[in-house]
Structure 1
Amino acid sequence: MTPPDSHGLDALETRQADALAMGGPDRIARQHAKGRLTARERIATLLEPDSFDELGLLARSDLPEARDRTPADGKICGYGQIGDRTVAVSADDVTVLAGAGGRIGVGKQMALMAYAQRKGYPMIHLGDAGGARVPDIMGSDGMMSMVYRIDQPPRDRSIPLLTLIMGECYGGPTWTASVSDIVIQVKGTAMCVGGPSILEIATGEQATAEALGGPALHAHTTGLVDLFADSDEHALQLARHCLSYFPSSARDLPPVAPTSQPVDTPLPELLDIVPTDPRQPYDMHRLLEQVVDTGSLLELKPSYDGSLITALARIDGHVVGLLANNPKVTAGAMGPGACEKATSFICLCDSFHIPLVFLHDTPGFFVGRRAEERQMPLKIMNFIEALHHSRVPRVSLVVRKSYGMAHCNMSGGNMGNDLMLAWPGADISFMAPAVAVNVAHGRRLAALPDEEGQALRAQMIEDMSRANAPWPAAERNLIDRVIDPRDTRRELARALARARGSDGEAGRSQRRLANWPRMA
């Protein structure tokens, strides 16, 4: 007669059921009362049905007093499918000791990320945790056993890493977000180094979680978050959508989407979108939406210095990275935030073989005391250096204004582009003609009688305006082609196709920016 449970199947079933119950029904109910999903519900929503293959389900805390209260040690890890792609997923279980990290659970997460990196699987982290567990990390042995380890190969953007901020995230999930390629934050959540209680105990300062790391702060002030979601479900859908623009690893090229949308159909709407008066603002988003494949425009950091749009999109099914000045915000004059955003975006695209398209309409950089206090010269030159190191194809188009150093930063003439284009109304120079006349001839003009001075000023502005037109630069072959605005989509598609080479492999980057900080 076989002894009861001689194969251990009952014990296995019991332990699995205990782990799958997470922190118990009361804590799960509290999570649902906040309008949030549990960690396991989030994973099920993110992945294709029944595709999650969990590792470390039976892990528990290595502290005896915490063992029975730490199913899966509060970290759920494994692999699953998004479409036809395998991805690695880790999720903080806030129903287990507030999701705080213990030695075993954090080790699980690090092992998962290291393995995904070696094998070339995208990694998605669902953050909802209150930092490290104090009993685990206190003492010399605790601290040294829970360091942020750097004894493994650096990530160097070898795989796409996405982090979703889905609760109050302090410590661990904040560190992961800060080195991620894409960060998505749900409204009503927070991401910061330490929470309000720790802050008050340590410094006496009182602040809410929203003030320390809420969506408004990251949208407008830090730029650390790329996209914002209204709910858990919305965030998970955004994660799936974002991943569609990236290869599974840096070994691969970005995925090409099937499209039946023609690229050679003229776009007369563009003539109405961009005013001929250079002082009249317009929304560059409207132009981009016409030029790229319908529904493919995905803007990152949309509220962080909106003078520059950084967006992923597709043209003829192929992924591109767009950097476009937006005259609707500060007339398109870029500030420190725009430079940070551009540098970060160039690093992202170059690391994953995504070609860059620049669309100019800028009067220059937004200068002044506040900009200087934020290290404006350093930000400008970091932007330039990122461009210098980048090796993905680059196509640049001057839509309207392109002045001064900003012309260089927007990958202007003589900047190593695969193709330099301009609209006929392009206005390219060091500064606006009226300003240049005042700088160079202001005293002389002021000394003349009013009528004579005004006439000479007008003549000087007219002469400079002619010199700023694209024709002199085109005659010196500094512009490859002056194009009909209505053909913009076709011209960009042709240039990008040519830049990919005959076998499609010429668009690969040398990945010189893969180890640059996320926000330099």
Structure 2
Amino acid sequence: MVTSHEPSPAGPRHDLRQRVAELAAARSDLLAGPSPDATGRQHAKGKLTVRERLELLFDTGSFREIEGFRRHRAAGFGLEHHRPPSDGVVTGWGKVHGRTVFAYAHDFRIFGGSLGEAHAEKIHKVMDLAESAGAPLVSLSDGAGARIQEGTTALAGYGGIFRRNVRASGVIPQISVMLGPCAGGATYSPALTDFVFMVRGIAQMYLTGPDVVRSVTGEEVSHEQLGGADAHAGVSGVAGFVYDTEEDCLADVRHLLSMLPANNREPPPAVAPADDRDRDCPALLDLVPGDPNRAYDMRAVIEEIVDDGDLFEAHASWAPNVLCGLARLDGHVVGIVANQPAVLAGVLDIPASEKAARFVQTCDAFSIPLVTLVDVPGFLPGREQEHGGIIRHGAKLLYAYCNATVPRIQLILRKAYGGAYIVMDSRSIGADLSFAWPSNEIAVMGAEGAANVVFRREIAGAPDPEAAREQRIKEYVQELMHPYHAAERGLVDDVVDPAATRRILIDGLEMLRAKQARLPSRKHGNPPS
């Protein structure tokens, strides 16, 4: 237990030095935590303490705590006999790579990190400060949910957090780091933030736990299977980043913060590049096969183009048929959206459309330019997709691109067929620049399918249907799918040498850096649900 250092009665001649000594002792006990036993139990679970986590997140010695001595004022159910300072959450601000960042972090050793009235008010205050100061907010979540002993005041505390999450959305970056349990209504706060990190084995998120699931449905499921890091990274799509250790997780939170602006009024931070802006990328000629039906790894293409091959990929395990991530080109941050031919041939389906739409919206909110790499054969066909709502989910990606005002460059590597070509930031929906490699094929559909539709009767009535079909396919390719067809009609700005891709993208983004674009006056749009 933390020793209580109550201020001693003091007259006008009380020695200030004594007061300072009392304060130092109280602060030392506060930093030490509730008890060695509680700390031991936290470590035995494979978890760091709240102070250890904050030390990893912030630059050394920079964190400034606020309301550290706050205590709850609840009475009854035993709480009146247990009023530890901090009330189970540490709040404040500090520096990450020299830039101001706010944070709140649950202390599971105190009331299991549960949220009560005072606990919530501390979080509300630091969220308000972050918004007022125009600086990112990071939450380190390790709490048992609403504090049952405080009843409805605890629930109201969550409502205040959610309202502030929404108000700050698109204003300051909000990052949730899941380092312990998160259940019930508490899960909505991470879902409202921009990025969610989770650590395997210690973090779980679910609305209803395994016991409730068992009693209602009869299904036997573990905490990890129901709401563990891998479940949310690969199945639900709630978590964008997953790690084996807290140290690796918090190191990447710091890395992400280094690529984000402080708020929506500032550009992303630029750095002096070590990579030559004008270097050629001849390896691209070998990475992408000429045969449009052969798979390849788009990630390797991206790493060849961006500074130092560094792609910070989001949602790597969810909807892997599309890649989304942050990188730098000539030291400036860009958002990359790309089809992945190595998975499902790079088609767009429901999860891929949602993943890319969310990423595009996030980049647009924080003035991060978008580069879209296209090699897409279309939307995934089938009853499951149609009944699952591929129309409205695909429209989310269309809406996100059409609504984006940041600089936008499209690069077509190979296939760009049908509606999926339009949705992948084509010139017709507002891309500022569109480039294509000589291997590009832009068309309503593939040549074989097109010939079978357009010349179906002719092919069926020909003496040699197979020869007739091959002839018509060849003609369709020559007339409508040759590399310069779209360029001749102004839908592509230039057909470029793949080896020059990096330089061309950097030149285009440099030209667009001062882009001015405004949307019509409106309260807000009504995006597809």
> TM-score, with normalisation over the residues of structure 1?
0.92
Question: Cα gap change, 1:145/1:181 in structure 2, threshold over 3 Å: closer, same or farther?
Answer: closer
Query: Which residue is equivalent to 1:462?
Result: 474
**Aligned twin of 2:36:** 25
CA-based RMSD? 2.6
**Corresponding residue of 1:498:** 511
How many corresponding residue pairs? Answer: 512
Q: Does 1:453 align with 2:442?
A: no
Is the partner of 2:102 in helix, strand or coil? strand
1:190-240: CA deviation from partner (whole Å, max 9, x where unpaired): 122243345556776543211221122112221111111110101100100
Structure of greater relative contact order (alpha carbons < 8 Å, 6+ residues apart): 1
Aligned-partner residue type, residue 289 of structure 1: E
Mapping of residues 294-305 of structure 1, within 5 Å: 294-305=308-319
1:374, distance to aligned residue in structure 2 (A):
2.3
Equivalent residues of 1:390, 1:512 under 8 A apart: no
Supply the distance in 1 between the matched residues of 2:403 and 2:21 (Cα, whole angstroms).
59
Superposed CA deviations along residues 395-418 of structure 1, whole A, max 9, x for unmatched, are 011100000000011112422221
| 1:168 alignment counterpart | 181
Give the 3 Å change call, closer, same or farther, for CA 514–306 of structure 1 in structure 2: farther
Deviates more, 1:44-53 or 1:211-220: 211-220
- Shift in alpha-carbon separation, 1:381–1:142, aligned structure 2, 3 A: closer
Aligned residue among 268, 279, 304 for 2:282: 268
Q: Secondary structure at the match of 1:73?
A: coil
CA contact (8 A) 1:259 1:317 kept: yes
Helix, strand or coil at the partner of 1:460: helix
Deviates more, 1:1-10 or 1:249-258: 1-10
Deviates more, 1:63-72 or 1:477-486: 63-72
Provide the C-alpha distance between the structure 1 equivalents of 2:381 and 2:522, rounded to a whole number of angstroms.
27
The percentage of aligned residue pairs carrying the same residue is: 35
Deviation at 1:103, TM superposition (A): 1.0
Corresponding residue for residue 63 of structure 1: 74
**In the superposition, relative to structure 1, how do residues 39 and 201 fare at CA in structure 2: closer, same or farther (>3 Å)?**
farther
Q: What is the one-letter code of the residue matched to 1:464?
A: Y
Letter in 2 for 1:19: L
User: In the superposition, relative to structure 1, how do residues 194 and 93 fare at CA in structure 2: closer, same or farther (>3 Å)?
Assistant: farther
- Stretch moving more, 17-26 or 332-341: 17-26
Partner of 2:462, secondary structure, is: coil
The 2-side partners of 1:487 and 1:5 are apart by: 69
AA in 1 matched with 2:370: L
Contact 1:500 1:507 in 2 (8 A): no
How far 1:260 sits from its partner (Å)?
A: 3.1
Counterpart in the other structure of 2:192: 179
**Does the aligned pair in 1 maintain the 2:121–2:157 contact within 8 Å?**
no
Secondary structure of 2:415's counterpart equals: strand
1:74 shift after superposition: 0.3
- How far, CA to CA, are the matches of 1:447 and 1:123 in structure 2? 68
Q: Residue 519 and residue 190 in structure 1: after superposition, are their counterparts in 2 closer, same or farther (change >3 A)?
A: farther
Higher deviation after alignment, 473-482 or 319-328: 473-482
Is 1:316 aligned with 2:327? no
- Structure 2 residue runs without a partner (length 5+): 1-10
Distance 1:104 1:205, change over 3 A: farther
SS of 1:339's equivalent?
helix
2:169 aligned partner, one-letter code: D
Match for residue 222 of structure 1? Answer: 236
Question: Aligned partners of 2:197, 2:405: CA distance in 1, in Å?
Answer: 28
Partner of 1:121: 135
1:470 CA drift (Å): 2.7
Question: Which letter maps to 1:231?
Answer: T
How far apart are 1:108 and its partner, in Å?
Answer: 0.5
The amino acid across from 2:486 in the alignment is A
Residue matched to 1:72: 86
Contact 1:246 1:352 in 2 (8 A): yes
Q: Secondary structure at the match of 1:16?
A: helix
In the superposition, relative to structure 1, how do residues 211 and 281 fare at CA in structure 2: closer, same or farther (>3 Å)? Answer: same
Q: Is the contact made by 2:270 and 2:333 (CA closer than 8 Å) also made in structure 1?
A: yes
User: Who is 2:172 aligned against?
Assistant: 159
Cα gap change, 1:430 to 1:180, in 2 (>3 Å): same
Structure 2 vs 1, CA of residues 289 and 512 (structure 1 numbering), >3 Å: closer, same or farther?
farther
Q: Which runs of structure 2 are paired with 1:401-480 in the superposition (5 Å)? A: 401-449=415-463, 452-466=464-478, 467-480=480-493
Residue of structure 2 aligned with 1:147, choices 159, 176, 184: 159
State yes or no: 1:242 paired with 2:253. no
Shift of 1:118: 1.2
Report the alpha carbon displacement of residue 60 of structure 1 after superposing the two structures with TM. Answer: 1.4
Structure 1 SS opposite 2:378: coil
SS in 2 for 1:248: coil
Superposition deviation, residue 327 in structure 1: 0.5
Q: Which runs of 5+ in 1 are unaligned?
A: none
Deviation at 1:508, TM superposition (A): 7.7
In structure 2, the residue matched to 1:486 is 499
Asked if 1:333 corresponds to 2:353, the answer is no
Match of 1:97 in 2: 111
